């Protein structure tokens, strides 16, 4: 079956760095996405990886290893507004997205 | 408006009643999707439409129907609501249905079936 695994919850301190991991097993692979979702709001797009390696976008970076079925989202210089859930999703062989349950990130002052 | 509009924002519904959740986008996106989001579970695809006039079943289509008469509108209908359909429903769209199809989501519709 198809499966996306990510930690349920993580806690980090304002100004620090946090890495959120995602492992996947899917039928086919057409890219890996990270979305941010604040409580009570809609998910918003953060990053897309289709080739192995690191994609950097400001304070956020995303890494992909297709051979290991693994990705991580790295958040630097954490701010209180980064408190949110982070959703990992993989495009399968039909280009449909398979979603993880999300990682709730709690930022403490 | 710019983006996706969903209505209603929230609704409490008696079991057995019929309900239509509305979704309209103004981005001229070809593909549209309906997801449900439940605590502890990932977003689950209910139905999708790759282009106006076509629809397809997602992971959890039972009890739901959709139509795509034009590019902008993609309503989701619950013919006879049951308590297990209590959830937050998100409509989303993307330019097309292949490759790096980044989704834009509506604000969600919270549905409670009693």
Instruction: For residue range B10-51, list pLDDT tens digits in order.
Output: 999 999 999 999 999 999 999 999 999 999 898 999 999 999
Share of chain A above pLDDT 90, in %: 92
Q: What share of chain B is helix, strand, coil (3-state, %, to 5)?
A: 5, 45, 50
CB A52 within 8 A of CB A66: yes
Q: Which residues of A touch B (CB under 8 A)?
A: 4, 30-31, 33, 35, 41-45, 48, 50, 87, 89, 91, 95-102
Indicate whether A33 pLDDT > 90.
yes
Tell me what the mean pLDDT of segment B83-98 comes to. 94
Least CA distance to A34: which residue of chain B? B102
Least CA distance to A47: which residue of chain B? B102
CB A18 within 8 A of CB A11: no
CB pairs under 8 A between A and B: 49
Tell me what the mean pLDDT of segment A43-53 comes to. 96
- pLDDT at position B1: 56
Instruction: For residue range A61-78, list pLDDT tens digits in order.
Output: 999 999 999 999 999 999
Q: Cβ contacts of residue A16 below 8 Å, gap of 6+?
A: A78
């Amino acid at each position: 079956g198809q499966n996306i695994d990510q930690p349920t919850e993580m806690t980090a301190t304002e100004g620090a760095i946090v890495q959120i991991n995602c492992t996947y097993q899917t039928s086919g692979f057409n890219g890996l996405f990270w979305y941010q979702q604040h409580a009570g709001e809609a998910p918003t797009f953060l990053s897309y990886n289709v080739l192995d390696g690191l994609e950097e976008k400001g304070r956020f970076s995303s890494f992909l290893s297709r051979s290991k079925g693994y990705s991580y989202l790295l958040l630097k210089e954490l701010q209180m507004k980064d408190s949110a859930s982070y959703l990992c999703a993989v495009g399968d062989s039909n280009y449909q997205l398979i979603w993880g349950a999300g990682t709730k990130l709690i930022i403490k002052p | 408006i710019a983006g996706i509009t969903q209505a209603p924002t929230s609704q409490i519904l008696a079991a057995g009643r019929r309900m239509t959740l509305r979704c309209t986008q103004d981005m001229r996106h070809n593909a549209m999707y309906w997801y449900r989001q439940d605590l502890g579970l990932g977003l689950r695809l209910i139905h999708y439409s790759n282009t106006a006039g076509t629809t397809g079943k997602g992971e959890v289509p039972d009890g739901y129907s959709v139509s795509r008469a034009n590019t902008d509108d993609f309503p989701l209908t619950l013919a006879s609501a049951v308590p297990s359909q209590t959830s937050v429903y998100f409509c989303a769209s993307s330019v097309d249905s292949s490759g790096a199809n980044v989704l834009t989501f509506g604000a969600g519709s919270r549905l409670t079936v009693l």
